[in-house]
Amino acid sequence: MKHLIVGSGTVGKSTGTMLKVHGEDVTYYDVNADIILELKKKGENVATNIKTEMPMYTWICTPELELEQVMKTLLKRSVVIIRCTTQPKTIDKLEKQFSKSKFTIIHLPEFLKEVTAIEDTLNPDRIIIGSNDCSTESIELKYMLKKFFPNIPIIYTDTKTSEMSKLTANGWLGTQISFWNEIKEVCDEIGIDSQIVSNAVTLDKRISKYGSNMLGKPYGGKCIPKDVKQLIETICKWIGKSILLKSVDDVNKKMMKK
């Protein structure tokens, strides 16, 4: 089956690798000439004109701010799979905006770390497929991914739920990091080794170790900071204000200044 990857950065390359490992036909596209040149040198299939490509699946792996513009360039696509992190109901709006294009839009959020992107994509904890209809194309995608990952939980839901799931995941990870950083500040003032505290506390099976071994370091990278902010915006939009996550963001800003 033919796949077109639009946006061939970290997410795009790892997505393409996952598809190729399972014998799929992959072509990459990116507006960055350096990325395309690098892919050509590696012997990858690349597209120079997105409008001439007619794949079965088009995977959009661009930054979310470029999503709408990319969608405008897609003509007569069978299935568009969005990997971008978007606020709930963004896909709903896109479906209405591009309803005349008559292509199926699916949200398939990625859950990867930049430094281990390919490994994370090839060995996911779970797969979330967001679709607002039970079209043949979306069902076929589900079966294809189930064939790729027979032992991995696949959650099939609507797009606003898949969008919220991605934001919530990174919001929680950011919360854990800020929590441990605040504990470290208190321990430092009292004269306590915060690492011993975190090591002791995380022996409790109910408490994740994530963030407990990077005490004093703010959360960074491309995903968690922007996703925490997006989640705060979502909360403020729907219920007025964010109390907990606003504090999580404030703690992180404080740590970044140290």
Question: What is the average pLDDT across 221-225?
Answer: 88
Which positions ≥6 away from 213 have C-beta within 8 Å?
195, 198
pLDDT at 48: 85
pLDDT at 224: 92
pLDDT at 57: 92
pLDDT at 76: 67
Active site residue 223: yes
pLDDT tens readout for residues 161-189 = 999 999 999 999 999 999 999 999 999 99
Question: What is the average pLDDT across 230-254?
Answer: 94
pLDDT tens readout for residues 80-111 = 999 999 999 999 999 998 887 778 899 999 99
Cα separations in angstroms, 101 against 169, 174, 214, 218: 32, 38, 47, 43
Indicate the residue among 123, 157, 191 that finishes a domain.
157
Is 1 within 8 Å of 107 (Cβ atoms)?
no
Both 153 and 169 in a single domain? Answer: no
Our count of domains for the chain comes to 2
Which listed residue (61, 84, 134, 223) is catalytic? Answer: 223
pLDDT at 77: 67
Both 128 and 54 in a single domain? Answer: yes
pLDDT tens readout for residues 37-65 = 999 999 999 998 887 778 889 999 999 88
Domain that holds residue 248: 164-256
Is 39 within 8 Å of 93 (Cβ atoms)?
no
Q: The domain spanning residue 74 has which CATH number?
A: 3.40.50.720
Both 13 and 114 in a single domain? Answer: yes
